[in-house]
Amino acid sequence: MSVFTVFFCGTGSNSFDTQNKNYPKGEIISTLASHHKGTEFVDWLACDGPGSGNLQEDEKWVVPGNYSQLRGTLTGAGWVENVNHAIAVLKCELEWKRVQLTKQDYDKLKSAKVPIEDAKAGGSWYWRTYEYPNRKVTPQDLQLQKAKIFRKGKPPSKVNIIGWSRGGVSCHMLANAMAKDSALSGIPVNIFAVDPVPGTGNFQKERCSLAGNVKNYVSVYARDERSKGFAPIVPKCASATSVLILPFPGRHATVAGNGAVDGADGAQGLPHPGALVRGLAEKFLTEWGTQLDKRSGFGKDDINKMYDAMKEDAAKYQTLRTKVYTTAENSNGERYIGLGEAGKGAAFSAAKDDGWEAPKGLSMTDEEVCDFLIKL
């Protein structure tokens, strides 16, 4: 069985966040992608998040959006292209490639004295433009050839998807896009979502519900976030889907590995929620067939110690509720969430369901989550 894993980074986050100073052990999505034992485009794919700098635009298999950082951050612009790019890679169908050299590539080849055609100058003396020559072979050509050789040009037999923030919501979007594609609809999908926040105005059905192709859905949520516009989605899943919804202390970035005492860029001091979430993601991805290296590997005693430490830091987590990215909002003191197919606004603890693996869902206490994790 061939297993393909898609990693969706969150808003403002990209594949280089393995070295982000606010994430001492690396931001969860970029770091797990870097630990995949397989070959990119054959076994896995990592997509940078909206508003993260357009660093991957020249390598997309579909026409890239090249949206501004502000637009990507505010609206999520670019995540549809990320999903379409993933679909194209899964199907081994190249829809677009950057044929023309960029200025950076052109200058690099010229400085290395590679014999290439000169750029053609245009415009006027006060507004000079240049048309650079075409590549003989594009990055996408090479990527496609790898997929054709090692995957024989066929879609995988299973797809695992993991994402944080808008990357978590992108997991929903990709799974639903696969369900509507005749070449991919029969492939089983497993999702691990980390605080899936869509942003204001983005609670459409394709982001708030999941089709029956999703066999396992696991999602973790930050209990102490209070920023307006940061309500996460708890999606409606098909009746046959195994659903696990768990709460953790901390803010939106805390659960992704940012241990700052303000949940942003302050001094480090709250590492345990991020460590637990990462260990949980490694466990499920591995069980689903993703080949990961450098796993955390902690056991029951480690889980108990981390929850003891979080109990001692309870006041610090309470303080996080006063730290916000935008303005503050709450629902009777709790974090707002978007619940179900319509993304209806609700209090954090309202997310519970007798059909879930942990029926109390987001109403679980830390002690209850600790006991549940130890028994997993």
Residue 276's domain is classified under what CATH number? Answer: 3.40.50.1820
Whether residue 253 is found in the same domain as residue 112: no
Whether residue 113 is found in the same domain as residue 177: no
Question: Model pTM?
Answer: 0.93
| End position of a domain, from candidates 75, 110, 134 | 134
Check pLDDT > 80 for residue 255. Answer: yes
Burial class (CB in 10 A: 0-12, 13-18, 19+), 314: exposed
Kindly give, in sequence order, each residue whose CB lies less than 8 Å from that of residue 112, ignoring residues fewer than 6 positions away. none
**Contact in structure between 375 and 271 (CB atoms under 8 Å):** no
> Can you tell me whether residue 84 is helix, strand or coil?
helix
pLDDT in tens, 58-102: 899 999 998 999 999 999 999 999 999 999 999 999 999 887 666
State the chain's mean pLDDT as an integer: 93
Whether residue 118 is found in the same domain as residue 213: no
Average pLDDT over residues 220-226: 98
Whether residue 168 is found in the same domain as residue 265: yes
Lowest mean pLDDT among 83-97, 123-137, 242-256, 278-292: 123-137
Whether residue 117 is found in the same domain as residue 265: no
pLDDT in tens, 301-317: 999 999 999 999 999 99
What are phi and psi for residue 218, nearest 5 degrees? -120, 130
| End position of a domain, from candidates 113, 134, 155 | 134
Check pLDDT > 60 for residue 28. Answer: yes
Check pLDDT > 80 for residue 170. Answer: yes
pLDDT in tens, 241-253: 999 999 999 999 9
Check pLDDT > 80 for residue 222. Answer: yes
| End position of a domain, from candidates 134, 160, 189 | 134
Whether residue 38 is found in the same domain as residue 110: no
**Contact in structure between 159 and 178 (CB atoms under 8 Å):** yes
The amino acid sitting at 111 is S
Burial class (CB in 10 A: 0-12, 13-18, 19+), 296: middle
The token duo for 2 is 């061939």
Binning pLDDT at 50, 70 and 90, where does residue 297 land? confident
Average pLDDT over residues 122-129: 57
Q: Note the pLDDT of residue 181.
A: 98
Check pLDDT > 60 for residue 8. Answer: yes
**Contact in structure between 352 and 368 (CB atoms under 8 Å):** no
Whether residue 230 is found in the same domain as residue 105: no
- The Cβ of residue 364 has, within 10 Å, a number of other Cβ atoms equal to 21
Whether residue 104 is found in the same domain as residue 87: no
In total, how many domains does the chain have? 2
Q: Which residue has the higher pLDDT, 201 or 111?
A: 201
Whether residue 64 is found in the same domain as residue 109: no
Q: Note the pLDDT of residue 74.
A: 93
Whether residue 284 is found in the same domain as residue 178: yes
Whether residue 322 is found in the same domain as residue 214: yes
Check pLDDT > 60 for residue 126. Answer: no
What gap in Å lies between CA 115 and CA 110, rounded to an integer? 7
* Domain span at 173: 3-94+141-375
Binning pLDDT at 50, 70 and 90, where does residue 135 land? low
Whether residue 292 is found in the same domain as residue 318: yes
Closest by alpha carbon to 208, among 240, 231, 185? 231
Average pLDDT over residues 286-309: 95
Check pLDDT > 80 for residue 132. Answer: no
